[in-house]
Amino acid sequence: MRRSLALLGLATALAACGPNSPTDGLRGVSSVNVPVVSRADYAFDVAAPDGSLPSSEAARLDAWFRSLQLGYGDSIYIDGPAAYGARDDIARVAGQYGLLVNNGAPVTPGAVPIGAVRVVVSRTRASVPNCPNWSIPSQPNLENKTMSNFGCGVNSNLAAMVANPEDLIYGREGSGIGDTQTASKAVQSYRKAPPTGASGLKDISTKGN
């Protein structure tokens, strides 16, 4: 019996050090607490009987946008057979919030009613799940691993401050236009500046006047 218990304890210790251990990610300097980007789609059907948006429906759409607190980072799409005709009217309402109407539309449940168009607002949010994370005691730390809460503060602040969470996934493409004179202006100023010791050392006295 004692031998069996000893073998069981040894097997448990070896399993804890295996590659499937939940603390394997804490062995490096990279944080396991990273931002996670999620997306939610909100749909709203407005009447467009003749392919255009009546003023009453435009007011309903504007009220819906205000209730969503529409802003930078949100994407607007139009779906339905009459989407092409009502696109300009919906774009004018969306333009009041500084947004454009994108091409295509996400898949939404249910069919678009006849004589109506569906406006879809796609919104992304970034957050760091399971933070703060103190699931593993900080001591003892015989393997010199990072703390389970490592990265929660920095990455949570990053997720809260980023204006468009999709930038965490795709990044931003450069404009492809560069001004070499502007880029080298700081280097030229540094090279043209006279050395600090060219005029000699200043006579500094600690005595008062």
**pTM, rounded to two decimals:** 0.62
8 Å CB contact between 10 and 77: no
Query: How far is Cα 66 from Cα 20, in angstroms, rounded to an integer?
Result: 48
For the chain, the C-alpha Rg in angstroms (whole number) is 30
Both tokens of residue 146?
A: 């990072």
The domain segmentation of the chain, as residue ranges, is: 40-124
Residue 138 identity: S
Q: Please list the pLDDT of the chain residue by residue as tens digits (209 residues).
A: 334 333 333 333 433 444 445 566 676 677 888 999 999 999 999 999 888 889 999 999 999 999 999 988 899 999 988 888 889 999 999 999 999 999 988 888 888 888 899 999 999 999 999 899 888 888 887 778 888 889 899 999 999 999 888 888 887 777 777 778 887 888 888 888 888 777 777 777 777 65
Pairing of strands 36-47, 116-127: antiparallel
